[in-house]
A and B are shown apart, each in its own frame.
Chain A
Amino acid sequence: MRPIIDVEHLNYRYPQQAKDQLTLRDVSFSVDAGEWVAIVGHNGSGKSTLAKNLNGLLAPASGKITVDGDVLSEKTVWEIRKKIGMVFQNPDNQFVGATVADDVAFGLENQGVARDEMLRRVPAALKLVNMQDFATREPARLSGGQKQRVALAGMIAARPQILILDEATSMLDPRGREEVLATIRQMKATSDLTVLSITHDIDEAASANRILVVNDGEVKEEGTPAEIFRHGEALIKMGLDMPYAERLKAALKRRNVQVPATYLTEKGMADWLWQLRSNK
């Protein structure tokens, strides 16, 4: 297999950071064409920064990034962005078009694709994510999961070789998350798309061929999901998710709030929170 993404000794520092502080420190890895790689890590571990370096949204302090044979530079950045489709976290903040079809066409318009071609590609892409009946809908009338599927359709229409999911499912409810993941699995099955997913979601990480664990701006571990999941409890330290209610409970406990010892569902947690102060 040829590597489609190759990162060598990547360092990155945000402009407001001190000289010796690096968000990414000597990161090196490569991804083969057709592979699905999950990147996991805590909030602030540098995983999103890493993704934004890959298509030049952020410029590295040093190091070399090669995408499909092109070394990332000011000259090649627009070519590379054509090859990488990126879906972000917030479904609303990446919806540019006034309607579903317009949004899918946005990337194509940017590339100057002829209108006849767009009229073929847009419906085909919408069909692939099962949103063909919503082409003329406005984003305000879609659910989060539907919006993310539209974002995926926008990527598919532009025919990238690499798809980067930057916590694309983290703001969705379980059903929306499953819809989006199913769509990606299906896309993966029918093409040799390379997927790089940055995630806290254990299901999403389990779908990958390989997992990279990022901590403090460094790649700490690398392995198949089976190898990584063997760590059990330590997964949480790596930034994979406990259920939300459990995380909230742990956070409250750290602040010396008495929490019930029994397991609570999200609804149970909400009920308990409402009553927390009222009976005192």
Chain B
Amino acid sequence: MMNKLIFGRYIPGDSVIHHMDPRAKLLLSFYFIGIIFIANNWMTYLLLFAFTFLAITMSGVKWSFFINGVKPLIWLILFTVVLQVLFSASGGPVYWHWGIITISRLGLINGAYIFCRFVLIIFMSTLLTLTTPPLELSDAIEYILMPLKAVHFPVYEVALMLSIALRFVPTLMDETEKIMNAQRARGVDFGAGNIFQQMRAVVPLLIPLFVSSFNRAEDLATAMEARGYQGGEGRSKFRILKWHARDSWVTVIFAALTVALIFLRA
């Protein structure tokens, strides 16, 4: 059950988007979030939506995953939209007015735009995580952080930490499950009682988990040292990322999208 929560995220597939370089995907996803703010009329938002729909269709991932991505955030989105509608600078015909609350035409339009922005950002970042295995993302982050080596930021170490953390998530999940079962066998009822009782039930879960994690960390450090690990410098890399022609093409498409947006904006 807990496994699905995190690892159900990556959906294996064979699309162009799945095969793209994770660096390209990561950078272009951030770039996309940036250019969303160029859009300021219906035409530009329509273009962005068309683009996103096309990308999602190409990925071959089911639509339900994207709708599910929006669901947990829907209240935050609606809250922001309502604030925008009620309190933003008014303009155009005013439909309703009470104290500092104003519903105007411009406010409504702004609210709709904000809603569109949220949905676009969530769809695009969901597309990134659904089509990229966590390990590839951590490799991409390593490459992207590389310039920070100039200011002595330990890029290799951080990347290794990230990959070890990812590798141990299922191990620790299993362990949690085991400890929960052991506590259940002794009569602990997780999920019963009020919130304080539930929180108290978590303590006998966390303490053994912490202790065993520290033991694991020590064992792992010993094993790494025995295998000659001396820090990030002087290591070669087994997993490397390759930039293909398709990654360049996708970058060109994003550039074209930017130009189109600038043309169409009001």
Contacts and interface: CB of A to CB of B under 8 A. Distances in A.
Contact of A154 (B135, B225, B227): B227
Interface in A108-133: 108-115, 118, 122
A139 interface: yes
Contact of B228 (A111, A115, A122): A111
Contact of B223 (A93, A115, A118): A93
Interface string B199-217: 0000000000000000110
6 contacts: A84-B226, A92-B171, A93-B223, A96-B167, A108-B238, A112-B234
B237 interface: yes
A69 interface: no
A115 B234 CA distance: 13
Closest 8 A-B residue pairs measured CB to CB?
A: A140-B170, A93-B219, A105-B238, A94-B223, A110-B228, A107-B227, A86-B226, A98-B167
B215 to A, nearest CB: 8
Contact of B227 (A52, A92, A110, A115): A110
Contacts of A118: 236, 238
A138 interface: yes
B80 interface: no
B225 A57 contact: yes
Contact of B230 (A92, A110, A115, A139): A110
B89 interface: no
B57 interface: no
A94 B167 contact: no
A102 interface: yes
A95 interface: yes
Interface string B166-195: 110011001000000000000000000000
Contacts of A154: 227
B163 interface: yes
Interface size class of B (residues with CB under 8 A): 20 to 34
B192 to A, nearest CB: 24
B37 interface: no
B228 A96 contact: no
B236 A112 contact: yes
Interface of B: 135, 163-164, 166-167, 170-171, 174, 215-216, 219-220, 222-230, 234-240
B236 A113 contact: yes
B235 A138 contact: no
Nearest to A119: B238
Contacts of B166: 98
Contacts of B239: 102, 105
A78 B222 CA distance: 14
Contacts of B229: 106, 110
A170 interface: no
A138 B169 CA distance: 11
Nearest to B162: A98
Contact of A106 (B216, B222, B227): B227
A99 interface: yes
Contacts of B225: 57, 81
B228 A107 contact: yes
B173 to A, nearest CB: 8
A277 to B, nearest CB: 13
A105 B163 CA distance: 14
A196 B225 CA distance: 19
A116 to B, nearest CB: 10
Which has the most chain B C-beta neighbours within 10 Å: A55, A78, A92?
A92
A90 interface: yes
Interface in A71-106: 78, 81-82, 84-86, 88, 90, 92-99, 101-102, 105-106
